[in-house]
Amino acid sequence: MKMRGIVQGSSNGAIGCKMLLIFLMVTKPIHGSALGNVLRPESEPNLEVLTCPGKCVCQLEAFNELPIARWVNHMARDYGDDSFLQQPTHTKLATCLVQSQDEWQELRDYLPTDLQALILLYTGNVENQLAVNTSSLRPLNQLRTLEIRGTGATLIIDDPLEFLQYANFEHIRLQASDRLQRPKFSKLPSDDYEYKPPSELLPPSEYSTKYPLQFEDAASDIVTYEQHMQRLKQTRMPSFFGWGRLEVLRIVGCKLDKLHWQMFDGLTQLRDLNLERNSIEELPPFAFSGALQLKSLSLAHNSLRRLHYLGLAGLLQLETLNLADNRLERLSELSFPPLPKLQKADLRSNPVRYILPGTFWVMNDTRELRMGSDQAALDLRTWFIYGQFDSLNELRTLILGNVSTETLEQGVFKGLYRLEFLKLRGKIHSLQFDVFAGMEHLRELDISQCGVSELSMDAFMGVKRLKFLSLSHNNLTNIPHGLLDDQQRLEEVQLQGNQLKTLPTSFFRLPLVRVIRLDQNPWQCSCQMQYWKPYLTNVVRGPIVKRCVKDINGDPLSCRHEAPYETDRSLVPRCSNYNGRSVYYVLRKQLHCGDIQILQPPSHNRIGTRGLPLPHWRKVELHEEQSKKATPRKITHKPTKQRNTLQFVLRQQNQQPHPEPLELEMSNEI
Ligand SMILES: *[C@@H]1O[C@H](CO)[C@@H](O)[C@H](O)[C@H]1NC(C)=O
Ligand SMILES: *[C@@H]1O[C@H](CO)[C@@H](O)[C@H](O)[C@H]1NC(C)=O
Ligand SMILES: *[C@@H]1O[C@H](CO)[C@@H](O)[C@H](O)[C@H]1NC(C)=O
Ligand SMILES: *[C@@H]1O[C@H](CO)[C@@H](O)[C@H](O)[C@H]1NC(C)=O
């Protein structure tokens, strides 16, 4: 059945079509004629009329307005590349709902050959399978984008679609056909990959700086029977060999359980690869060696149990790596190869208990790291002279969930010199002195809901740019005097939900402070609290709003984003010794404290100004110069020393044995 579809250029048309599309998706596929012959808008005289088979909705629209732009652009936005987001030309898209094999075969021949994007949604039942051959799509050689979705559909890869740029397969099966051409004389990654993690360097030599993969010609290899059998097995594995223009490939929820480097061989343009929600258990060595231009790779929601550095070897352009929700238990220097451009690493929801030293030595440009899972608590600790975050010199954001550490010690965050944002959740009994020392750029520190009971008065020493500090919903009974001496830039302090009875007056002397949350604490009210200010305690920062100065026509001249502070009387701190009445009421009506004394300006002489309870850890070298304390020794990586001491450290950790090198059969000649 052939009919005219919709052509549109005006925004009205666009809305109409989207509504139709939604209508079509929620109801059974309707007969094509229901879409009617929409008149061509006169403002777009150059657009050709699309022929559109029944079962399909056709659109001609700016690429970014199409539903496919969502996934095409998604990952690119992740690494901040919007150069290609503005695709100026219009794209011809057909969205087809198919319920059976017959329907597909009928429809296929009527798809316009100049179609640029095709979305195939299988809506039939799971038993009544739909199989689509890639060879049957080859006549559509203008196709740039292909999306196939729907449980029960299978894509049989029997011919490369060398013209495709963007491919998305969701909840379908991918199958290779016997006649699929495989790379015959492909260059295979060789064993000569030069990177070796420091502990594998035998004898200790210079830290190798040559990371690119070396390739060797495999054509002359003699094949053993086992290799032959393995090859046979791999012929059933789908391969995108020959899809040379592919830039974005998503294979999501497709029950993929094995990966092999052959799958992605020759994808030299591939930028984004998303393999989320499959059942991948292992990354074979050099799995992505055919797609070395990858900028983003997601293997989230799979079953990866371990990671060996050869699995990701060669991805020198990679900027984002998502390994969230796998089964990785251990991270060490054997986990990652050099990823010199990696910006973001998401390792959440992996049952990692320890981060062994050296794990991140290869991520020296990474800006953001997230870890923590509900299956295993992460023990933050120091490893002799090594920190677990060593070499993350450029890290700006660190988010760690389910940390379980009795005491956060000086040195646990060593190496994070440029950190700006740190968020911890879990169980942490106490914070030791200088635990954040060296983080001169730290702006936001959030350690709430961690059960923190004890704080060294020098916990935040050396951190001088903090704007936001949250210690809310912990178990603090006491805030040491002098805790915030270094925090002259603080704008917001959150202490709500603790066991606090008193507060050092210095809190209300912070020069830039706008919010001091003190509610949900059993305050013992006394005249000491007459310095408290309701406009600081009963206030929250509202959502960020954009404010613009407008010109006479109402057009914005200049805009800025700001977070207004909003008064909220329910946040008023209350006195447990006065029946839970508001602190300010008690001060005014019950305590009659007399004149407010003039507050002393903050003293810069740290010694002698505090007379109240001593901190839990008092630094012995308290009177040494502060600058000395604020800049901890930077550890330079000297490979020889590293090796020896690292092994020494690891030997000391008998209870957590060094991860034995994985027994990898490095059979590259397949
Ligand atoms: C796939 O292609 C092969 C070869 O062209 C053909 O024999 C087979 O019937 C096709 N299968 C489907 C489901 O279209
Ligand atoms: C990361 O380390 C590599 C190799 O040691 C070096 O070439 C590169 O410049 C480093 N990058 C940064 C940002 O320090
Ligand atoms: C933290 O990990 C432990 C397992 O060690 C688990 O029982 C607990 O529920 C986790 N907590 C959170 C908040 O996820
Ligand atoms: C809080 O502290 C009290 C007394 O110091 C202790 O009994 C309680 O177990 C602590 N609660 C948590 C959640 O750590």
Question: pTM of the entire structure?
Answer: 0.78
Categorize the per-residue pLDDT at 162 as very low, low, confident or very high, splitting at 50, 70 and 90: very high
Question: Is there an atom of ligand 4 within 6 Å of 406 CB?
Answer: no
Mean pLDDT (whole number) for 107-127? 89
Three-state DSSP state, 27: coil
Last residue of one domain, picked from the residues 327, 348, 370? 327
Q: Given the structure tokens 């990701």, which residue do they identify? A: 312
Q: Of the residues 293, 327, 361, which one is the last residue of a structural domain?
A: 327
Query: Phi first, then psi: what are they for 150, rounded to 5°?
Result: 125, 120
Q: Are residues 41 and 107 in the same domain?
A: no
Residue 226 scores a pLDDT above 70: no
- For residue 179, the CA-to-ligand 1 centroid distance in Å is 11
In a domain, 173, yes or no: yes
**Residues 116 and 255 both lie in one domain:** yes
Q: Which two tokens stand for residue 49?
A: 């009329």
Among residues 280, 285, 287, the alpha carbon closest in space to that of 305 is found at 280
Specify the pLDDT at position 213: 54
Q: pLDDT value at position 229?
A: 58
Residue 36 sits in the same domain as residue 138: no
- Domain co-membership, 80 together with 108: yes
Mean pLDDT (the chain) is: 78
In this structure, is residue 516 part of a structural domain? Answer: no
Domain-embedded: residue 12: yes
Are 32 and 65 a contacting pair, CB within 8 Å?
A: no
Per-residue pLDDT band for 632 (boundaries 50, 70, 90) equals very low
CATH number, domain containing residue 149: 3.80.10.10
Q: Which atom of ligand 4 is nearest to the CA of 427?
A: 14
Same domain? For 84 and 27 the reply is no
Instruction: Count up the domains in the chain and report the number.
Output: 2
- Domain of 164, in residue numbers: 60-184+231-327
Q: Which neighbouring-strand residues pair with 274?
A: 250, 298
pLDDT at 333: 85
Using CA positions, which residue lies closest to atom 4 of ligand 1? 135
Residue 188: predicted pLDDT: 61
CA–centroid distance, residue 122 to ligand 2 (Å): 48
Rounded CA separation 263/280 (Å) = 14
Task: With a cut of 70, say whether residue 599 has pLDDT above it.
Answer: no
Q: 74 and 103: one domain?
A: yes
Q: Using the predicted structure, report yes or no on whether residue 356 has a pLDDT greater than 80.
A: yes
Phi-psi region of 53 (alpha: psi -120 to 50; beta: other; left: phi over 0): beta
Report pLDDT for 545: 84
**Percent of the chain residues topping a pLDDT of 70:** 71
Ordered DSSP codes for 19-58: HHHHHHHHSPPPPGGGG--PPPPTT-TTPPPPEEETTEEE
* Structure confidence at residue 636 (pLDDT): 37
176 in the same domain as 144: yes
∠ at Cα 6 (5, 9), nearest 5°? 155
Mean pLDDT for 258-264 is 86
Q: Give the pLDDT band of residue 109 (cuts 50, 70, 90).
A: confident
Domain end position, chosen among 295, 311, 327: 327
Segment 186-193 shows an average pLDDT of 61
639 pocket-lining for ligand 2 (C-beta < 6 Å): no
Do 42 and 128 share a structural domain? no
What does the pLDDT look like over 404-440, one tens digit per residue?
999 998 889 988 999 999 999 999 999 999 999 889 9
Residue with tokens 């000649």: 669
Could you tell me if 171 and 24 lie in one domain?
A: no
State whether the beta carbon of 475 lies less than 6 angstroms from ligand 4: yes
Question: Does the structure show a pLDDT above 90 at 161?
Answer: yes
Higher pLDDT, 436 or 553: 436
Task: Identify the weakest region by mean pLDDT among 435-444, 583-592, 658-667.
Answer: 658-667
Q: Which two tokens stand for residue 68?
A: 């496919």
Given a cut of 50, is residue 629 above it in pLDDT? Answer: no
Residues belonging to the chain: 670
Choose one of 364, 636, 638 to mutate for the ligand 2 pocket test, by most ligand atoms within 8 angstroms of C-beta. 364
Cβ count near 494 (within 10 Å): 20
275-296: per-residue pLDDT in tens? 999 999 999 888 998 899 999 9
Residue 646 domain-assigned (yes or no): no
> Sorting pLDDT into bands at 50, 70 and 90, what band is 16?
very low
10: in domain: yes
Atom 7 of ligand 2, residue of closest alpha carbon: 209
Give the pLDDT confidence of 602-622 residue by residue, as tens digits: 444 444 334 343 344 333 333
User: Within a domain: residue 246?
Assistant: yes
Ligand nearest to the CA of 198: 2
Domain match, 40 and 174 both: no
Q: Kindly state whether residues 64 and 113 are assigned to the same domain.
A: yes
| Position 279 in a domain | yes
Q: What is the mean pLDDT of residues 557-568?
A: 86
Rounded distance from Cα 133 to ligand 1 centre (Å): 6
Provide the pairing of β-strand 354-355 with 272-274: unpaired
From atom 5 of ligand 3, which residue's Cα is the shortest distance away?
376
**Could you tell me the pLDDT band of residue 564, with boundaries at 50, 70 and 90?**
confident
- From 475, 501, 521, give the residue whose CB has the most ligand 4 atoms within 8 Å, as the site to mutate: 475
Q: Are residues 260 and 284 in the same domain?
A: yes
166 inside domain: yes
Specify the pLDDT at position 332. 86
Residue 368 has a pLDDT of 97
